[in-house]
Structure 1
Amino acid sequence: MEGSAIFEIFEGLPRQGPGSNESTERAFRLIPSVPPGARILDIGCGVGMQTIHLAELCRTCNIIAVDIYQPYLDVLMENATKKGVADRITTVCTSMDDLHFDQEEFDIIWAEGSIFVIGFEKGLEYWKQFLKNDGYMALTEAAWFTDSPSDEVVHFWDLCYPDIKSIPDTEKVIRAAGYNVIDRFRLHASEWENDFYLPLEKRLDSIGRNLKGNSEGESIIEFTRKEIAIFRKHPDEYGYVFFVMQKNTDK
């Protein structure tokens, strides 16, 4: 698979992006009404820490978990079996920009740390067709926490995700795409560290030896170390925001 080094580097981690069970639960509790038997689509699920916690939070929900890397999905189902929720989770190995579901099939779409892959505006527009009228979407997106970020931080984000916006500007994109913002909250810096950056650093140390001479792998490792260092230096300038929104049937 093209770009397989990045998947290999992020294997074995509890999460493939910032977050926590606490923020997953907080976002889920912000949804005003979850019908019995609700169908949830978790896009870019990785190894599915949030998928499994959603299944624990909603005992009648059925979850479709989507990721492009089958080994992540295998780990998800192994962990779901251990937690006793595997009967309500189905995995689909496919790209988030090539989904084959029915129109208005899902009550909730979930996407923690993944929508940047397809692009925020494109993801909102494309995924909306799979959401029921008045259905909900909950996702995390990177955002500026300051109007005057450091030059070092601006340069980094220009390289990796130039579409990063302020929280108000991100909400404008959400509304323009046909959603009403229910609520939002910032992820704490610890949610980057505990289940993501700390285990990721250990993984970089161990896998670095295996990827010696692999130019793609070495480049990703170098960039990832830089990412971690910049965040730890400037945690108040940017981060992830959890947005909970509802599909606006007037648009």
Structure 2
Amino acid sequence: MAESPIFEIFDGLPRQGPGSNECTEKAFNLLSSLPAGTKILDIGCGVGMQTIHLAKICKECHITATDIYQPFLDKLMENAVKEGVDDRISTVCASMDDLPFENGEFDVIWAEGSIFVIGFEKGLSYWKQFLKEGGYVALTESTWFTDEPSSEVVQFWQDCYPDIKSIADTEKVIMAVGYDLIDSFKLPASTWYDFYANLEKRVDKISDNYKGNTEAEMILEFNRREIKLFRVYPDEYGYTFFILQKNE
């Protein structure tokens, strides 16, 4: 699986999806009464910009970061060493739908920009077993910011993630699966502009390497379409950060 060109495209980015240290910290500060020695599971961590920031702001935490692509994890640990937080982070190369952990092992599950891979409802249902009673989930999910998105935007999301919902409908899924919603906030459009600025440079840089590779050319073309669309319709959709608590 790791041979897919999508990994190489995203490998050169500081972050594999929209987000910021400010948003990570804001979400973390919405978690209350965490025990000393809090164990955090960061699922689909990419190169782990948020993992490293969590390690910096939670000095009593230990973070287990997982991704399916080992080079991302290697880069994460290289950066963790540079930042002096490698003693608080360990990595596990694993698929988010087949995690090698014990029931009730973690106080917090973190997932920035990754749950769409497994599907929102499926991910929340499957990951729940790894949380302690009253444990938290903090994650970002694509949501509509308008009740009447433009037809071009609707078509794009039908092609890439037809499961996108309004914030209210996403909250209904959260509660149906057995979590209480603690809080939520929209990621600012600036997080998308920053991500897309880096992605666009990366796409332009490596496009020539993939001439004649149909799969890669399709991915690169999709990236260009995605970037262009957001610049036209930045108010219609985006990520919402949801903070949940297991309610059993």
TM class, shorter-chain normalised? over 0.9
Identity %: 70
**Cα deviation, residue 2, structure 1:** 5.7
Partner residue, 1:151: 151
1:176 positional shift: 0.4
The equivalent of 1:10 in structure 2 is: 10
- For structure 1, the residue ranges without an aligned partner over 5 or more in a row are none
Aligned partners of 1:164 and 1:3: how far apart in 2?
28
The corresponding residue for 2:193 is 193
How far apart, CA to CA, are the structure 2 residues paired with 1:27 and 1:111? 11
**Where does residue 160 of structure 1 map in the other structure?**
160
Displacement of 1:4 in angstroms is 1.6
Equivalent in the alignment of 2:107: 107
State whether structure 2 residue 24 is matched by structure 1 residue 53: no
Look up the match of 1:92.
Answer: 92
Shift of 1:3: 5.5
Alignment of 1:1-251 (within 5 A): 1=1, 4-194=4-194, 196-249=195-248
Shift of 1:150: 0.1
TM-score for the superposition, normalised by structure 2: 0.99
Aligned length: 248
1:166-188 CA distances to partner (integer Å, 9 max, x unpaired)? 00000000000000000000000
CA distance in 2, matches of 1:135, 1:30: 13
Tell me which amino acid in the other structure corresponds to 2:203: L
SS at match of 1:210: helix
Segment of structure 1 superposing worse, 31-40 or 148-157:
31-40
Give the counterpart letter for 2:208 in structure 1: R
What is the Cα deviation at residue 88 of structure 1? 1.0
C-alpha distance in 2 between matches for 1:159 and 1:202: 24
The 3-state SS of whatever aligns with 1:159 is helix
Query: Moved runs in structure 1, 4+ residues, more than 3 A?
Result: none
RMSD across aligned C-alpha pairs, in angstroms? Answer: 0.7
List alignment gaps of at least 5 residues for structure 2: none
Give yes or no for contact 2:2–2:69 (8 Å, CA) kept in 1: no
What is the TM-score with the length of structure 1 in the denominator? 0.98
